[in-house]
């Protein structure tokens, strides 16, 4: 069983699926539990910044990831296997070896200046959290938001970090023209569970505080209960939705746990280590929603699950969304405000 590492959700680094040779430490070389592993940052020299997808499960075409890998270290993160394309592991490497796209703001501006760009919502992020801890000092997300503001292009933001409130000044300006929608992901209200499952995210209390701060500033904000892990946090759905409404969220959504590739083994190892008494029930419930498997990759099935228990969760979610006024309606971004040749920086507010 992987040992515990302080501030990390896993101590395991499973073999990269693209590598034919893998190294495993001998037991005598393993450090004791509660050791620390520092985060390393590497320059990402990508020449383009917008990732395009055609998934029918996702309501946008383009996303922007200022970072690759995520120090939040959520054990369940579906994006972990993408780190294997960089030669890293989906395990501990994903949360300790972070690629930094220093040129992200300039690359984004270059995209907006192209004549073929059609104004539309771009999602921050998709495979990482744009407000992970290092953003506090690097300001890449903030600088990208400044580009969105300058060109008046719509942006959707998904995060688990209350750091987003730092940028309320920019978001408020975007909101005035219906150019921004923020989604705060809340997995649990149990601080201890959050600490072991998503160790470097903002606490549930701070996330709810961010919802309130954004709503009070007139910024459209919704809550995503994600992921719902059957047998673990599904019982919290009513309480999370009640808290979301109380703090000013306008709508709510959810997704079911996904375990693609190496995430399956990492999550099962975490269950065995952190809650052995509940592991069997959780695994059984997951299989009930995945046709007997632990993962389902088909479009239309992977985000919601199927079967009786998936139906029960869907009905429960809908009932409490109606109760608390969180029924989701499609947000209408205003794409008409886009300007391909904005005024120079000094003239913006002149």
In a domain, 1, yes or no: no
Q: Domain count for the chain, please give it.
A: 1
In a domain, 256, yes or no: yes
Q: What pLDDT sits at residue 348?
A: 45
In a domain, 195, yes or no: yes
**What's the chain look like in SS3?**
CCCCECCCCCCCCCCCCCCCCCCCCCHHHCCCCCECCCCEEEECCCCCCEEECCCCCCCCCEEECCEECCCCCCCCCCCHHHHHHHCCCCCHHHHHEEEECCCHHHHHHHHHHCCCCCCCCEEECCCCCCCCCCHHHHCHHHHHHHHHHHHCCCEEEEECCHHHHHHHHHHHHHHCCCCEEEEEECCCCCHHHHHHHCCCCCCHHHHHHHHHHHHHCCCCEEEEEEEECCCCCHHHHHHHHHHHHHCCCCCEEEEECCCCCCHHHHHHHHHHHHCHHHHHHHHHHHHHHCCCCCCCCCCCCCCCCCCHHHHHHHHHHHHHHHHCCCCCCCCCCCHHHCCCCCCCHHHCCC
In a domain, 45, yes or no: yes
pLDDT digits (tens, 9 = 90+) for 190-218: 999 999 999 999 999 999 999 999 999 99
CATH number, domain with residue 269: 3.80.30.30
In a domain, 300, yes or no: yes
pLDDT digits (tens, 9 = 90+) for 233-281: 999 999 999 999 999 999 999 999 999 999 999 999 999 999 999 999 9
Average pLDDT over every residue of 19-36: 53
Q: What pLDDT sits at residue 315?
A: 97
pTM of the model: 0.92
In a domain, 13, yes or no: no
pLDDT at 27 over 60: no
Domain of 189, in residue numbers: 39-327
In a domain, 292, yes or no: yes
In a domain, 209, yes or no: yes
The rounded percent of the chain whose pLDDT value lies above 70 is: 92
């Amino acid at each position: 069983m992987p040992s515990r590492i302080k501030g990390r959700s896993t101590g395991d680094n499973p073999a990269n699926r693209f590598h034919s040779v893998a190294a495993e430490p001998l037991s005598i070389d393993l450090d004791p539990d509660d050791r620390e592993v520092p985060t390393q940052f590497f320059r990402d020299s990508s020449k383009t910044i917008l990732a395009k997808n055609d998934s029918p499960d996702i309501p946008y075409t383009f996303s922007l990831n200022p970072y690759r890998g995520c120090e939040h270290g959520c054990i369940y993160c579906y994006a972990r296997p993408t780190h294997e394309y960089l030669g890293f592991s989906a395990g501990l490497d994903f949360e300790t070896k972070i690629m930094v796209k220093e040129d992200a703001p300039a690359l984004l501006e270059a995209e907006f200046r192209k004549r073929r760009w059609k104004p539309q919502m771009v999602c921050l992020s998709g495979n990482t959290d744009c407000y992970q801890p290092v953003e506090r000092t690097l300001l890449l997300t903030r600088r990208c938001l400044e580009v969105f503001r300058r060109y008046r292009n719509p942006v959707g933001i998904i995060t688990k970090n209350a750091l987003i409130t730092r940028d309320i000044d920019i978001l408020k300006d975007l909101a005035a023209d219906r150019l921004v929608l923020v989604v705060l992901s809340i997995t649990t209200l149990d601080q201890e569970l959050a600490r072991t499952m998503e160790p470097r995210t903002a606490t549930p209390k701070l996330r709810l505080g961010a919802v309130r701060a954004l709503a009070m500033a007139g910024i459209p904000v919704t809550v995503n209960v994600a992921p719902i892990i059957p047998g673990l946090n599904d019982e919290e759905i009513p309480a999370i939705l009640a808290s979301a409404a109380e703090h000013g969220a306008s709508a709510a959504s959810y997704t079911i746990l996904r375990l693609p590739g190496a995430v399956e083994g990492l999550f099962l190892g975490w269950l065995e280590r952190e809650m052995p008494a509940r592991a069997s029930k959780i695994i059984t419930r997951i299989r009930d929603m995945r046709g007997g498997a632990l993962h389902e990759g088909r479009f239309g099935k992977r985000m919601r699950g199927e079967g009786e228990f998936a139906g029960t969760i869907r009905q429960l979610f809908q009932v409490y969304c109606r109760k608390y006024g969180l029924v989701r309606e499609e947000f209408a971004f205003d794409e008409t405000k886009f300007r391909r040749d904005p005024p120079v920086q000094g003239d913006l507010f002149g």
